[in-house]
Amino acid sequence: RLWFFVVISISLIITLNAFAKNIPLAETFALIFISVISLILSYITIYKRVYLTNNIVYMLVYPGIAAVFVQFLNLFTLVVLLLIISLYDVWAVWHSGLMQKMAKYQINKLNVFSGFFVPYMSKRLKLKLQKMKKSQLKKKKIRVNVAMLGGGDVVFSTIAAGVVLKTLGLVPALLVIVGATAGLTYLLMFSDKKKFYPAMPFITAGIVIAILLSYLIF
E strands along the chain, which residues? 115-120, 145-150
Select from 94, 126, 114, 142 the least CA-distant residue to 6.
114
Identify the domain containing residue 211 by its residue range. Answer: 70-217
pLDDT value of position 115? 73
| Structural domains counted in the chain | 1
Q: Would residue 140 count as lying in a domain?
A: yes
pLDDT value of position 14? 87
Q: Would residue 32 count as lying in a domain?
A: no
| pLDDT per residue as tens digits for the range 5-37 | 998 999 999 888 887 766 666 677 878 888 999
As a whole number of angstroms, the distance between CA 176 and CA 189 comes to 20
Q: Would residue 189 count as lying in a domain?
A: yes
Q: Would residue 100 count as lying in a domain?
A: yes
pLDDT value of position 74? 96
Average pLDDT over residues 54-59: 84
Q: Would residue 42 count as lying in a domain?
A: no
| pLDDT per residue as tens digits for the range 123-157 | 666 666 666 666 555 556 666 666 677 788 899 99
Q: Would residue 95 count as lying in a domain?
A: yes
Angle between helices 75-90 and 151-167 (to 10 degrees): 170
Distances (CA, A) of 10 to 39, 121, 164, 203: 9, 35, 25, 26
Which of 19-33, 59-73, 177-191 shows the lowest per-residue confidence on average (mean pLDDT)?
19-33
Question: 50 CB contacts (<8 Å, ≥6 apart)?
Answer: 44
**What is the 8-class DSSP label of residue 197?**
-
Distance of CA 141 to the CA centre of its chain: 28
As a whole number of angstroms, the distance between CA 45 and CA 186 comes to 29
Q: Would residue 44 count as lying in a domain?
A: no
Q: Would residue 50 count as lying in a domain?
A: no
As a whole number of angstroms, the distance between CA 164 and CA 172 comes to 7
